[in-house]
Structure 1
Amino acid sequence: MVTIKRPRQPTPVRPAIWGRVLALTVAFTLGAIIAGGVVFWVTRPGSIEQTADQLRTESALRDRAQIKTLTELARSTRGRLVPVLDGLGLAMPADGTAGPAAVTAADVENWRKAAADAVQGFADPPSGETATNVARSSLAAAVRQIATTVDTYAVARDLTGLARTAAMDLAVRQRADALFTWSVGATALDAVNVDAGYGHQHVFLPTSPGEGALTPDTAPEGSHDS
């Protein structure tokens, strides 16, 4: 008698095994989601950093506006001061010798008024970035020195002898210091204009050789070349 063997039936997968597989899958998915969430919350910009970035952006925009306004003020101030310096140049040559008698009290009074108006233009300055503040402060200091130079010259006109000579010499030195200080401010103003994207702005006052003032570079006005 031949015995026929029946095919062996596959052992069914136990429900417990499927449960464990499903549990592992769910756990892995949840872990990935949680890990991704942790990375996002750890690496995303915090509120303090976002606020700081916003403040930096606003400060940069405000500074660009201040640079433009300051440059316009410097140009208008130069227009006021050039006639004053031209007059002082006739009255007080750089070597300190006496000037022509054509300078009148009315001329001196006009210089005083022009210098006072220039000083007033720099009153109540806004606070800006450090480089802009340096440019503004240097120009303002120069304007005050020019006003003082005019006052010293006015006093010297009423003196005689050695006292007059000494006062004139003092006025000459004050003028030289004022022109040097303005040249520092003008150089700083030129630099911040280039950094702000406005290009070179050469707002310098005329100076005589030997006065030691800084001079503008050779870059064309408004260009971005260094």
Structure 2
Amino acid sequence: MAAFALGALLSGGLVFAVTGPDSTERTADRLRTEAALRDKTQIKDLTALARTTRDRLAPVLEGLALAMPDGDAAAGPAAVTSADVGEWREAVTAAVASFADPPSGETATNVARSSLASAVRQLATTVDAYAATRDLRGPSAASALERAARQRSDALFTWSVGATALDAVNVEAGYGHQHVFLQAPPGDGALTPDTEPEGHHP
């Protein structure tokens, strides 16, 4: 009987040794777990950064909406001062800097971060393009202003792509829906948040 029990133990140990995970598999599992935990932290930090950036850019977009009104041919541009433009530049410069030197994360998180960062850079270009129009007159000014407005639309669309991706990774990470979208003019083509409540996890 004892010999049978010993044989069973030895046999079981042999089966585990043959079928159980080897050191390479255990290391791979550990690395995947660590990467997943690291990505969850990055998602949380990126969402906080996106919210801060959205709030920072809100006055810039409000000002640009007055300077380059959309959808109403009868509405002329509001008066914008050099000081206003200077404040916009400070805001977008700070926003661009906040996305510098990004950490390396999982693919979906990297896509969200890269889209948001690209949108911020495009908006900085929009502010520069608008500033350049202030020194122009006549048809040249109108043409340059139109290009600046298209750049703004591109920036808002790119941000909406990043915000959609950010929402998706938050849901996947268990944080629920996070709708960090910039205000875009109606019909501008930007993606919009879904109807799920903020923080809701399906």
Give yes or no for TM over 0.5. yes
Q: Which residue number corresponds to residue 20 of structure 2?
A: 44
The 1:172/1:208 distance shift into structure 2, 3 A limit, reads same
Larger Rg: 1
User: Which residue identity does 1:139 align to in structure 2?
Assistant: L
Which sections of structure 1, spanning at least 5 residues, go unmatched? 1-24
Opposite residue 63 of structure 2, the aligned amino acid is: G
Judging changes above 3 Å, is the alpha-carbon distance between structure 1 residues 203 and 186 closer, same or farther for their aligned structure 2 residues?
A: same
Asked if 1:197 corresponds to 2:174, the answer is yes
The alignment status of 1:148 with 2:125, answered yes or no, reads yes
Q: What TM-score, normalized to structure 2?
A: 0.93
Q: Which residue of 2 aligns with 1:222?
A: 199
Aligned-pair CA distance for 1:86: 0.4
Could you say if the C-alpha distance between residues 29 and 224 of structure 1 is closer, same or farther in structure 2, counting changes exceeding 3 Å?
closer
Aligned mates of 1:27, 1:200 — CA distance in 2 = 60
Q: Quick one: distance in 2 between partners of 1:29 and 1:203?
A: 63
Q: Which amino acid aligns with 2:178?
A: Q
> After the TM superposition, which segments of 4 or more aligned residues of structure 1 sit over 4 Å from their partners?
25-34, 95-99
Q: How many residues align?
A: 201
Matching of residue 106 in structure 1 with residue 83 in structure 2: yes
The alpha-carbon deviation at position 101 of structure 1 amounts to: 4.9
Q: Deviations over 1:85-118 (max 9, x none)?
A: 0000000012596843521011011101100000
How well do the aligned residues superpose, as a CA RMSD in angstroms? 1.9
Unmatched tracts of structure 2, length 5 or more: none
Amino acid in the other structure paired with 1:202? H
Aligned to 2:42: 66
Q: Which residue of 1 aligns with 2:56?
A: 80
Name which of 86, 90, 94 aligns with 2:70. 94
Does 2:92 correspond to 1:118?
A: no
Measured in 2, the distance between the counterparts of 1:66 and 1:34 equals: 46
Alpha-carbon distance in 1 for matches of 2:40, 2:11: 44
Percent of aligned pairs sharing the same letter: 70
TM superposition shift of 1:166: 1.0
